[in-house]
Amino acid sequence: MTPTTLQVFESYADAWNRHDADGIVATFAEGGTYCDPTTPGPLSGAAIGAYASGLWAAFPDLSFEMVRFFAGDGGWLSAEWVMRGTNTGSMMGLPPTGRAVEVRGVDLAVVEDGKLRSVQGYFDSGAVPRALGLDVIVQPHAIGPFEFGTGIRVSTGSKAVPGAFGITFIAARHKEDELAIGESGRKIMEEMLAIPGFISAVTVHVGDRMMTITAWETPESMAPILRTGEHRAVIGKYYRSEYGYGGMTGVWVPHHLGERRVRCPECDKMVSVEVPDGKCTCGAVLPEPLAYW
Protein backbone atom coordinates (compact mmCIF):
# COMPACT_ATOMS: atom_id res chain seq x y z
CA MET A 1 0.00 0.00 0.00
CA THR A 2 1.45 3.38 -1.01
CA PRO A 3 1.87 5.69 2.00
CA THR A 4 -0.03 8.97 2.01
CA THR A 5 1.65 12.31 1.37
CA LEU A 6 1.45 13.12 5.09
CA GLN A 7 2.94 9.76 6.09
CA VAL A 8 5.89 10.26 3.74
CA PHE A 9 6.63 13.68 5.15
CA GLU A 10 6.25 12.45 8.74
CA SER A 11 8.84 9.73 8.00
CA TYR A 12 11.15 12.40 6.61
CA ALA A 13 10.69 14.64 9.68
CA ASP A 14 11.17 11.67 12.02
CA ALA A 15 14.49 10.82 10.35
CA TRP A 16 15.64 14.40 10.97
CA ASN A 17 14.79 14.07 14.65
CA ARG A 18 16.51 10.67 14.87
CA HIS A 19 19.62 12.21 13.27
CA ASP A 20 19.46 9.48 10.65
CA ALA A 21 21.10 10.76 7.46
CA ASP A 22 20.45 7.55 5.52
CA GLY A 23 16.85 7.61 6.68
CA ILE A 24 16.39 11.13 5.33
CA VAL A 25 17.88 10.20 1.95
CA ALA A 26 15.70 7.10 1.79
CA THR A 27 12.50 9.17 1.86
CA PHE A 28 13.46 10.87 -1.42
CA ALA A 29 12.77 9.53 -4.89
CA GLU A 30 15.73 9.00 -7.19
CA GLY A 31 16.80 12.46 -8.29
CA GLY A 32 14.65 14.07 -5.58
CA THR A 33 15.93 17.40 -4.29
CA TYR A 34 16.17 19.42 -1.09
CA CYS A 35 16.81 23.17 -1.07
CA ASP A 36 16.68 25.99 1.50
CA PRO A 37 18.14 29.53 1.82
CA THR A 38 21.47 28.21 3.14
CA THR A 39 22.21 25.51 0.55
CA PRO A 40 24.27 26.33 -2.56
CA GLY A 41 21.35 25.09 -4.67
CA PRO A 42 19.18 21.95 -4.86
CA LEU A 43 20.82 18.97 -3.14
CA SER A 44 20.22 15.38 -4.16
CA GLY A 45 21.07 11.92 -2.83
CA ALA A 46 23.94 11.65 -0.36
CA ALA A 47 24.44 15.44 -0.41
CA ILE A 48 21.15 15.82 1.47
CA GLY A 49 22.38 13.50 4.22
CA ALA A 50 25.73 15.31 4.36
CA TYR A 51 23.94 18.64 4.76
CA ALA A 52 21.90 17.27 7.66
CA SER A 53 25.02 15.77 9.28
CA GLY A 54 26.69 19.18 9.14
CA LEU A 55 23.80 20.71 11.08
CA TRP A 56 23.89 17.94 13.66
CA ALA A 57 27.64 18.43 14.13
CA ALA A 58 27.03 22.10 14.96
CA PHE A 59 23.84 21.42 16.96
CA PRO A 60 24.05 17.88 18.41
CA ASP A 61 20.63 18.25 20.09
CA LEU A 62 18.91 19.60 16.96
CA SER A 63 15.18 18.86 16.79
CA PHE A 64 12.13 19.87 14.77
CA GLU A 65 8.66 20.38 16.19
CA MET A 66 6.01 20.05 13.50
CA VAL A 67 3.39 22.71 14.22
CA ARG A 68 0.86 22.08 11.44
CA PHE A 69 0.48 20.41 8.05
CA PHE A 70 -1.62 21.15 4.99
CA ALA A 71 -1.85 18.45 2.34
CA GLY A 72 -3.17 19.59 -1.05
CA ASP A 73 -4.00 17.85 -4.30
CA GLY A 74 -1.36 16.28 -6.51
CA GLY A 75 0.99 15.26 -3.70
CA TRP A 76 1.62 18.81 -2.45
CA LEU A 77 2.15 19.43 1.25
CA SER A 78 3.19 22.38 3.39
CA ALA A 79 4.56 21.93 6.88
CA GLU A 80 5.18 24.64 9.48
CA TRP A 81 7.96 23.78 11.94
CA VAL A 82 10.11 25.10 14.76
CA MET A 83 13.79 24.12 14.82
CA ARG A 84 15.61 24.16 18.17
CA GLY A 85 19.19 23.37 19.08
CA THR A 86 22.25 24.37 21.09
CA ASN A 87 25.48 25.29 19.31
CA THR A 88 27.99 22.99 21.01
CA GLY A 89 29.88 22.05 17.83
CA SER A 90 31.80 24.02 15.22
CA MET A 91 29.79 25.83 12.55
CA MET A 92 31.38 27.44 9.47
CA GLY A 93 34.79 26.84 10.99
CA LEU A 94 33.94 28.88 14.11
CA PRO A 95 34.23 27.68 17.72
CA PRO A 96 30.97 26.67 19.47
CA THR A 97 29.10 29.51 21.18
CA GLY A 98 27.05 27.35 23.56
CA ARG A 99 23.98 29.41 22.67
CA ALA A 100 20.51 28.03 21.97
CA VAL A 101 18.61 28.87 18.79
CA GLU A 102 14.95 28.69 17.82
CA VAL A 103 13.95 29.20 14.20
CA ARG A 104 10.50 29.00 12.63
CA GLY A 105 10.03 27.97 9.02
CA VAL A 106 7.93 26.25 6.40
CA ASP A 107 8.66 23.35 4.04
CA LEU A 108 6.84 22.90 0.75
CA ALA A 109 7.05 19.28 -0.35
CA VAL A 110 5.97 17.29 -3.39
CA VAL A 111 5.38 13.54 -3.04
CA GLU A 112 5.17 11.11 -5.97
CA ASP A 113 4.57 7.35 -5.63
CA GLY A 114 5.32 7.34 -1.92
CA LYS A 115 8.61 9.27 -2.16
CA LEU A 116 9.63 12.91 -1.86
CA ARG A 117 10.21 14.50 -5.25
CA SER A 118 11.25 17.82 -3.70
CA VAL A 119 11.41 19.74 -0.44
CA GLN A 120 11.82 23.52 -0.52
CA GLY A 121 12.49 25.10 2.87
CA TYR A 122 11.71 28.74 3.70
CA PHE A 123 13.06 30.53 6.78
CA ASP A 124 15.06 33.58 7.85
CA SER A 125 18.62 32.56 6.99
CA GLY A 126 20.00 35.26 9.31
CA ALA A 127 18.10 33.98 12.36
CA VAL A 128 20.70 31.37 13.40
CA PRO A 129 23.77 33.64 13.05
CA ARG A 130 22.02 36.44 14.97
CA ALA A 131 21.00 34.05 17.75
CA LEU A 132 24.63 32.92 18.02
CA GLY A 133 25.88 36.51 18.30
CA LEU A 134 27.40 36.48 14.79
CA ASP A 135 27.46 39.37 12.34
CA VAL A 136 25.34 39.00 9.23
CA ILE A 137 27.29 40.76 6.47
CA VAL A 138 25.45 41.69 3.26
CA GLN A 139 27.81 42.56 0.42
CA PRO A 140 28.32 41.72 -3.26
CA HIS A 141 30.62 38.90 -4.33
CA ALA A 142 32.34 41.22 -6.77
CA ILE A 143 32.05 44.59 -8.50
CA GLY A 144 34.24 44.94 -11.56
CA PRO A 145 37.82 43.99 -10.61
CA PHE A 146 37.02 44.07 -6.87
CA GLU A 147 36.11 40.92 -4.93
CA PHE A 148 34.66 41.00 -1.42
CA GLY A 149 35.03 38.65 1.52
CA THR A 150 35.55 38.37 5.27
CA GLY A 151 38.49 38.48 7.66
CA ILE A 152 39.54 37.44 11.17
CA ARG A 153 42.30 38.78 13.44
CA VAL A 154 43.83 37.05 16.46
CA SER A 155 46.52 38.70 18.60
CA THR A 156 48.57 37.96 21.69
CA GLY A 157 48.58 41.68 22.51
CA SER A 158 52.34 41.83 22.03
CA LYS A 159 53.75 45.25 21.08
CA ALA A 160 56.92 43.69 19.64
CA VAL A 161 58.11 44.81 16.22
CA PRO A 162 57.76 41.89 13.75
CA GLY A 163 60.93 40.33 12.43
CA ALA A 164 59.15 37.96 10.05
CA PHE A 165 55.80 37.35 8.39
CA GLY A 166 54.38 34.02 7.31
CA ILE A 167 52.09 34.20 4.27
CA THR A 168 49.99 31.24 3.18
CA PHE A 169 47.08 30.87 0.80
CA ILE A 170 44.99 27.90 -0.27
CA ALA A 171 42.39 27.96 -3.03
CA ALA A 172 39.32 25.91 -2.09
CA ARG A 173 37.69 23.54 -4.56
CA HIS A 174 34.16 23.75 -3.14
CA LYS A 175 32.14 24.61 -0.01
CA GLU A 176 33.25 21.49 1.85
CA ASP A 177 36.85 22.51 1.22
CA GLU A 178 36.17 25.99 2.60
CA LEU A 179 34.67 24.60 5.80
CA ALA A 180 37.50 22.09 6.33
CA ILE A 181 40.24 24.64 5.64
CA GLY A 182 38.55 27.21 7.89
CA GLU A 183 38.25 24.74 10.77
CA SER A 184 41.91 23.72 10.44
CA GLY A 185 42.96 27.37 10.30
CA ARG A 186 41.11 28.13 13.52
CA LYS A 187 42.83 25.24 15.31
CA ILE A 188 46.26 26.31 14.01
CA MET A 189 45.76 29.86 15.28
CA GLU A 190 44.83 28.50 18.71
CA GLU A 191 48.09 26.54 18.69
CA MET A 192 50.09 29.60 17.58
CA LEU A 193 48.82 31.64 20.54
CA ALA A 194 50.85 29.37 22.83
CA ILE A 195 54.12 29.70 20.84
CA PRO A 196 56.69 32.22 22.18
CA GLY A 197 57.45 34.88 19.60
CA PHE A 198 54.03 34.75 17.90
CA ILE A 199 52.51 38.24 17.65
CA SER A 200 49.30 38.04 15.65
CA ALA A 201 47.54 36.68 12.58
CA VAL A 202 45.03 37.92 10.05
CA THR A 203 42.98 35.63 7.81
CA VAL A 204 41.17 36.77 4.68
CA HIS A 205 38.61 34.79 2.69
CA VAL A 206 37.71 36.20 -0.72
CA GLY A 207 36.08 34.01 -3.36
CA ASP A 208 37.90 30.67 -3.42
CA ARG A 209 41.10 32.24 -1.99
CA MET A 210 41.82 31.67 1.73
CA MET A 211 44.88 33.57 2.97
CA THR A 212 46.60 33.84 6.35
CA ILE A 213 49.31 36.35 7.29
CA THR A 214 51.09 35.79 10.61
CA ALA A 215 53.50 38.14 12.39
CA TRP A 216 56.45 36.82 14.45
CA GLU A 217 59.27 38.38 16.46
CA THR A 218 61.92 36.49 14.45
CA PRO A 219 61.97 33.95 11.60
CA GLU A 220 63.20 31.36 14.12
CA SER A 221 60.07 31.93 16.23
CA MET A 222 58.05 30.22 13.51
CA ALA A 223 59.85 26.87 13.75
CA PRO A 224 57.58 25.27 16.42
CA ILE A 225 54.47 25.67 14.24
CA LEU A 226 55.87 23.11 11.84
CA ARG A 227 55.87 20.55 14.63
CA THR A 228 52.36 21.16 16.02
CA GLY A 229 49.64 18.58 15.50
CA GLU A 230 47.10 20.49 13.39
CA HIS A 231 49.66 22.20 11.16
CA ARG A 232 51.37 18.90 10.38
CA ALA A 233 47.97 17.32 9.69
CA VAL A 234 47.05 20.14 7.29
CA ILE A 235 50.28 19.71 5.34
CA GLY A 236 49.49 16.02 4.92
CA LYS A 237 45.92 16.73 3.75
CA TYR A 238 47.11 19.38 1.30
CA TYR A 239 49.65 17.11 -0.37
CA ARG A 240 47.28 14.12 -0.35
CA SER A 241 44.70 16.23 -2.19
CA GLU A 242 42.18 15.96 0.63
CA TYR A 243 41.47 19.65 0.16
CA GLY A 244 42.50 22.62 -1.93
CA TYR A 245 43.46 22.77 -5.61
CA GLY A 246 46.47 25.03 -5.21
CA GLY A 247 48.32 27.31 -2.84
CA MET A 248 51.57 28.80 -1.59
CA THR A 249 53.40 29.38 1.67
CA GLY A 250 56.48 31.39 2.54
CA VAL A 251 58.39 33.37 5.16
CA TRP A 252 58.87 37.08 4.47
CA VAL A 253 61.40 39.28 6.30
CA PRO A 254 60.60 43.04 6.51
CA HIS A 255 62.65 45.28 4.24
CA HIS A 256 61.48 48.51 5.85
CA LEU A 257 59.07 49.17 8.72
CA GLY A 258 58.00 52.73 9.39
CA GLU A 259 57.81 54.18 12.88
CA ARG A 260 54.68 53.45 14.88
CA ARG A 261 52.72 56.60 15.57
CA VAL A 262 49.88 57.63 17.86
CA ARG A 263 47.93 60.83 18.30
CA CYS A 264 49.07 62.88 21.27
CA PRO A 265 46.17 63.34 23.74
CA GLU A 266 47.32 66.90 24.52
CA CYS A 267 48.50 68.61 21.31
CA ASP A 268 46.58 66.29 18.93
CA LYS A 269 49.62 65.71 16.71
CA MET A 270 50.39 62.32 15.17
CA VAL A 271 53.80 61.55 16.64
CA SER A 272 56.25 58.66 16.78
CA VAL A 273 56.17 56.46 19.86
CA GLU A 274 59.71 55.24 19.12
CA VAL A 275 61.16 57.70 21.67
CA PRO A 276 63.12 56.76 24.81
CA ASP A 277 61.02 58.66 27.33
CA GLY A 278 57.62 57.90 25.79
CA LYS A 279 56.71 61.59 25.66
CA CYS A 280 55.53 63.95 22.94
CA THR A 281 57.56 67.07 22.17
CA CYS A 282 54.82 68.99 24.01
CA GLY A 283 55.71 67.02 27.15
CA ALA A 284 52.59 64.85 27.31
CA VAL A 285 52.94 61.13 28.01
CA LEU A 286 52.05 59.20 24.87
CA PRO A 287 49.59 56.30 24.76
CA GLU A 288 50.90 52.75 24.34
CA PRO A 289 51.87 51.92 20.75
CA LEU A 290 49.46 49.88 18.69
CA ALA A 291 50.39 46.30 17.85
CA TYR A 292 52.16 46.23 14.50
CA TRP A 293 49.86 43.67 12.90
136 occurs within a structural domain: no
216 and 246, same domain (yes or no): yes
Residue ranges making up the domain that contains 50: 5-131
Distance, in Å, from the CA atom of 107 to the CA atom of 118, rounded to the nearest integer, reads 10
User: Are residues 245 and 263 both part of a single domain?
Assistant: no
Backbone angles phi, psi at 187, to 5 degrees: -65, -40
Q: Do the domain assignments include residue 143? A: no
What confidence tens digit (pLDDT) does each residue in 98-137 have? Answer: 999 999 999 999 999 999 999 999 999 888 888 888 877 7
118 SS3 class: strand
Q: Among residues of the chain, what percentage have pLDDT more than 70?
A: 99
What is the predicted pLDDT for the residue at 49? 96
Q: What is the pLDDT of residue 236?
A: 81
Give 237 or 55, the one with higher predicted confidence: 55
Question: Average of pLDDT values for 36-57?
Answer: 94
One domain, residues 115 and 17 = yes
Nearest 5°: phi and psi at 225? -65, -25
Residues 108 and 156 in one domain: no
Examine residue 283 and state whether it is found in any structural domain, yes or no.
yes
In which element (H, E) is residue 85 found?
strand 76-86
pLDDT band at 1 (very low <50, low <70, confident <90, very high): low
Q: Count CA within 13 A, CB hemisphere, residue 186.
A: 13
pLDDT > 90: percent of the chain: 59
Residue 28 confidence (pLDDT):
98
Looking at the fold, whether 204 and 231 belong to one and the same domain comes out as yes
Domains: count for the chain:
3
Is residue 267 pLDDT above 80, yes or no?
yes
Report which residue type is found at 129. P
pLDDT of 51 > 60? The answer is yes
Residue 220 lies in a domain: yes
CB-based contact 199:292 (threshold 8 Å):
yes
Average pLDDT over residues 60-69: 96
Say how far apart CA 243 and CA 199 lie, in whole Å.
Answer: 28
Q: What pLDDT, on the 0 to 100 scale, is given for residue 203?
A: 92
Q: What is the pLDDT of residue 93?
A: 67
Model pLDDT, residue 278: 87
**Span 42-67, average pLDDT:** 96
pTM value is 0.64
Whether 48 is covered by a domain: the verdict is yes
- For residue 219, tell me if it sits in a domain: yes
d(CA 141, CA 104): 28
Nearest CA to 109 out of 239, 179, 246, 11 is that of: 11
Q: Which of these ranges, 58-67, 150-159, 221-230, has the smallest mean pLDDT? A: 221-230
Residues 18 and 109 in one domain: yes
DSSP 46: H
Whether 140 is covered by a domain: the verdict is: no
pLDDT band at 288 (very low <50, low <70, confident <90, very high): confident
CA distances from 255 to 27, 163, 202 (A): 62, 10, 20
pLDDT at 42: 95
pLDDT per position as a tens digit, 177-236: 887 888 888 888 889 999 999 999 999 989 888 999 999 999 999 988 877 778 888 888
| 39 and 126, same domain (yes or no) | yes
Return the pLDDT at 50: 94
Residue 205: which CATH number? 3.30.70.100
230 with 289, same domain: the answer is no
> Average pLDDT, stretch 239-265?
88
The answer on pLDDT for 283 being more than 60 is yes
